[in-house]
Structure 1
Amino acid sequence: MRDWRGGLLALLTLAGTGSAAAANSPLKPCRIDGIPNELRCGSLQRPLDPARPDGVKIDVHFVVAPAMARNKQPDAVLVLAGGPGQSAIELAPLMLQRLSRLNNRRDLVFIDQRGTGRSARLDCPDDSKLPLTEQLDTAAQLRRLDACRATLEKLPHGDLRFYTTTIAMQDMDAVREHLGVPQWNLEGGSYGTRAALEYLRQFPSKVRRTVIDGIAPPDMVLPASFSTDTQAALDKLIDAHAKTFPGLREDWQKLLASLPRTVSVAHPMTGKPEQFTVDRALLLRAVRAPLYQPALGAALPAAIRAAAQEGRFDGLFGLTSAFAGRKGMKLAMGMHFSVVCAEDAPRLDGATDQPGADYGRFDADMYARVCKTWPRGDVPADFYKVPAAPSPVLVLSGGADPVTPPRHGERVVQALAAGQPARVQHVVVPEAGHGLTGVGCMRDVIFRFIDAKTDTAALPQDAACATRIPRPTAFQPVREGSPQ
């Protein structure tokens, strides 16, 4: 949902038993690029269709980063990836850095959710090396996705109805049994928060603590909320930099009014200039991506001004490429649409989110077109309900987040805290973007929350060290002849 080159993206009734576990692969020493220490890798065979345990099987792969200390705690940390479509194993190098203190006395576990990474991956061909004119053509994007769906459905594991969050969380619990972990500490970001909430709903007694960062609740209706939330983040950024860039809102509206237009931009992979047409949808996607990270967003005002006043678009698309190029950002698009088309798309017509003035319905319309022919799995009615928290939950939101802002966290906190308000804390960092785990001292806050010996000591946590972090100042390019 985040890569302008990709077009659309700017998101078991049978548990494993002891005898089943014995039939699956034991943990073996392994290495992963970006992690210096030896890890343990394994896999667990699971039925594709939970109602047919003797039918098609898939292998769910996982990696364990063993606790460094000998006197380790039994409650491992399960890291749930975002997207939907990210590989938890591919995110492991980054998350191990952020959760290194927890890894001293606790195992960190990374499970590739079914449809991602090494677990029956549902991937579409990478179009990042195509000419920009082909990458950015909406009709061509839809044709590629339709061809991808047809190819995926021919795979042995290609029944796309069986990749819902509900089924995937039953895989996660089967891995817990396989590893002999009595309770998880859940750590989920973005779509991983939806996964964590669903695991918590199905297996409340198997969770000791939960950290959900950038809340994407089950009732979110993702393609509709995109418009509302991105518009709010863009308006906030324009207002924040109004003094440094007077007339920025007028520049933005002038830029929108000038579309469609033909521009020349250096290809992000080859560096060669290419000409293509920028329409409204493409521009809105390009602006959305850097909003995820305020450090990148700080360069947006200058990029918008350069495009509006000088016709130079390299800055806008360069920022988007910088965001999309981060390690672990690639999504398994087949899994992405299998989740969104089953859980969000059927509720689009009833969505109450007010479309953004600029963003309108283009995301909702695009997803509706793809999901019209995408197979849909069954989603239980209770999936959309968030029950009261059975154990402490730390909820994290960035006030400048363009996709999972605090309004979603507030709704989830209200449900989780029903009858037990002391079990839930909502930390909002006003000037942070999407995801707080890497912000300032938040990794220490998370460590103290999970490491606390008692539930009473776990909450509340003092997060003032993060909440006072200011928005990055706007980047101003150095012009020829200006003082250095």
Structure 2
Amino acid sequence: MRHRLAPLGLALALTGAPALAADAPPTPCRLPGVEHDARCGSVSRPLDPTRADGPRIDVHYVVLPALARNKKPDPVLFFAGGPGQSAIALAGPMSRLFTRLGNRRDVVLVDQRGTGRSAPLTCDTPDPAMPLRDLADMAAVRARLQRCRTALQALPHGDLRQYTTTIAMTDADAVRQALGAAQVNVVGGSYGTRAALEYLRQFPQAVRRAVIDGVAPPDMVLPATFGPDGQAAFDALASACTAEPACASRYPDLAGQWQRLLDSLPREIGVTHPVTGQPERLTLTRDIAGSMLRGPLYVPALASALPLAISEAAAGRFEALFGLGGALGGGRKEQQLAEGMHFSVVCAEDAPRLAGTSAAPAPAFGTTFADLYRDTCATWPRGSVPEAFYTMPPAPAATLVLSGGIDPVTPPRHGERAAQALGAKARHVVVPQAGHGVMGIGCMRDVLYRFIDADTDADALAVDTACVESIPRPPAFQPVRAAIAASGSAR
């Protein structure tokens, strides 16, 4: 689940509202990163499902047409993450991920209401060249979020109570019906797994197969899980370093070193801005340090450089830590979230349940994320969420549940809980050394194809996944000079 909203901050201003229209049947269109023509369409939906005569919004979708002449009748319906990510903005990467599936099945990408082209609830992203001191000012972040909320509410589609996952899945089924598909193969990643599970709950008869990757079940209760799940991923990193001779030799007490750094905070530090290259000074707090640590844990290749970054920071050199902390997403359009939709979902579905949770302490991290969500959701309009939303009935069709063993945000404990609830037609596959999201790793594209293409549920659930379960964790990164020295001493 991509909670990269505010490692350092949010800047807030608004995009314009989309034009409203009746259903627009899909017509040929071109999308960045997609080799072949796509078809773009929309369905007109009531903003408030209880007011058919009220304001309406256009929910946009894209069809990546099957290439084969005799295509299968059941398309792949993809739900993006976030919450707040545009599925259409991911058309390029998805066309490559689903290359084999897309040969004989259409791939359908729906911009969930509040994202992308569908009544967007978008705030400006911060300028990555802003001074670090300003990006780290959480009081300013909170104030900007409140201004953003006020401005969003003034939009024609600004009733922020109408963007829950439950309502959004009725939009998705309207797309299915508009396309004339009796059944779909549902695929969701990160928050998209919550969307997929809700689609299964509401429209079980419409699902032929389901794949959920990096599972965020409806009962997960964000942001209470941020701390313990991130802590488990960091502890796994420290253990891996201890077990790796080169890492253990160079960084003999990684967890202790990080704790000693945290104990020295807050303090003023000097650091080179990772974007502008200019020297700056700011007060480093435990919360800022924790946010820098959390992001790289999503991707094992980035996390492999954390031992070096922590060692450098302990010596007073913070460039590596800040560089890694800002590496995930990189400002690319497909990685950006519609923050208004994000908070509309989390504040309606998770925040009301926070009081009933008791998360374990997370000493490696601060409380920036949890505090930001609590403060923002205290005044954010909350949609109505049916109690049934928090349940996961038995799966109506074969469902592949995927987890990365060292995922800091949706680790296997959530996938296992979902798989148990989904019952006999669900299979949980853990890739032990993978981070957040495993569909694109190694042979998983072929696994997805064989799972969805199988003729029966039994054949689908028996698909061989051994090819990904043994993928190793990347070794700890070593500077070039250190690596050369180590190689020479080994000889």
TM-score of the pair, normalised by structure 1: 0.93
Who is 2:213 aligned against?
Answer: 213
SS of the aligned residue for 1:28 comes to strand
- Report if aligned partners of 1:4, 1:321 keep a CA contact under 8 Å in 2: no
Deviation at 1:270, TM superposition (A): 2.7
Matched, 1:298 2:325: no
- Contact between 1:125 and 1:148, CA under 8 Å: does it hold in 2? no
Q: What is the match of residue 56 of structure 1? A: 55
| 8 A contact 1:3–1:289 mirrored in 2 | no
| Pair 1:219–1:169, CA change in 2 (3 A) | same
1:1-400 alignment, distance < 5 Å: 1-2=3-4, 6-7=8-9, 23-129=22-128, 130-242=130-242, 243=245, 244=247, 245-309=251-315, 311-325=316-330, 327=332, 328-359=334-365, 361-400=367-406
The aligned amino acid for 1:337 is F
Partner AA of 1:185 in structure 2: N
The 1:465/1:83 distance shift into structure 2, 3 A limit, reads same
CA distance in 1, matches of 2:6, 2:372: 14
Deviation at 1:456, TM superposition (A): 1.9
Which residue identity lines up with residue 324 of structure 1 in the other structure?
G
Which deviates the most, 56-65 or 274-283? 274-283
Gaps of 5+ in 1: 10-21
With 334-343 and 268-277 compared, the bigger mean Cα shift is at 268-277
TM-fit CA distance, 1:251: 1.2
> What whole-Å deviation, never above 9, does each CA across 1:280-338 have from its counterpart, x for those lacking one?
111111110010010110000000000012x1111111112221216421100000000
For the Cα contact (< 8 Å) 1:2–1:288, is it kept in 2? no
Query: Which segment is superposed worse, 92-101 or 69-78?
Result: 92-101
Q: Which amino acid aligns with 2:45?
A: R
- Corresponding residue SS for 2:450: helix
Cα distance in 1 for residues equivalent to 2:5 and 2:345: 19
Counterpart in 2 of 1:475?
477
- 1:6 CA displacement: 4.7
Give the letter for the 1:103 counterpart: G
In structure 2, what is the Cα distance between the partners aligned to 1:125 and 1:480? 42
Shift of the alpha carbon at 1:353? 3.1
Question: Paired residue for 1:18?
Answer: none
Q: Deviations over 1:251-271 (max 9, x none)?
A: 111211121122333334333
Say if 1:360 and 1:255 are closer, same or farther in 2 by CA, change over 3 A: closer
Tell whether 2:405 aligns with 1:403.
no
After TM superposition, the structure 1 = structure 2 runs for residues 452-463 of structure 1, keeping only pairs within 5 Å, are 452-463=454-465
**Mean Cα deviation higher: 315-324 or 58-67:** 315-324
Deviations 1:381-433 (A, max 9, x none): 0000000111100000010000000000111111100xxx2x11100011100
Indicate the SS of the match to 1:222.
coil
Structure 1 stretch 227-236 or stretch 454-463: which is displaced more? 454-463
Tell me what 1:450 maps to: 452
Structure 2 alignment gaps of length 5 or more = 12-20
Distance in 1, Cα, partners of 2:465 & 2:152 = 45
The one-letter code of the counterpart of 1:294 is P
2:434 to 432, 435, 442: 432
Mapped to 2, the partners of 1:445 and 1:116 lie a distance apart of: 29
| 3-state SS of paired residue (1:365) | helix
1:326–1:395: structure 2 CA closer, same or farther, 3 Å change rule?
A: farther
**Separation (CA, whole Å) in 1 of partners of 2:202 and 2:6:** 36
2:328 counterpart SS class: helix
Deviation at 1:361, TM superposition (A): 4.5
What is the one-letter code of the residue matched to 1:460? A
CA offset digits 1:342-361 (Å, max 9, x no partner)? 00000001014323233365
Q: Distance in 2 between matches of 1:451 and 1:399?
A: 26
Within 2, Cα distance between the matches of 1:24 and 1:295? 44
Letter in 2 for 1:91: L
Identical pairs, percent? 60
Supply the distance in 2 between the matched residues of 1:340 and 1:444 (Cα, whole angstroms): 33
Q: Report the Cα distance in structure 2 between the residues aligned to 1:477 and 1:205, rounded to whole angstroms.
A: 55
- Kindly tell me the number of residue pairs found equivalent between the two proteins: 467
* Structure 1 residues 103-154: Cα deviation after superposition (integer angstroms, max 9, x where no partner): 0000001100000001011011221343221111110110110111011011
Distance 2:446 2:101 in 1: 9
Q: Distance in 1 between matches of 2:427 and 2:181?
A: 26
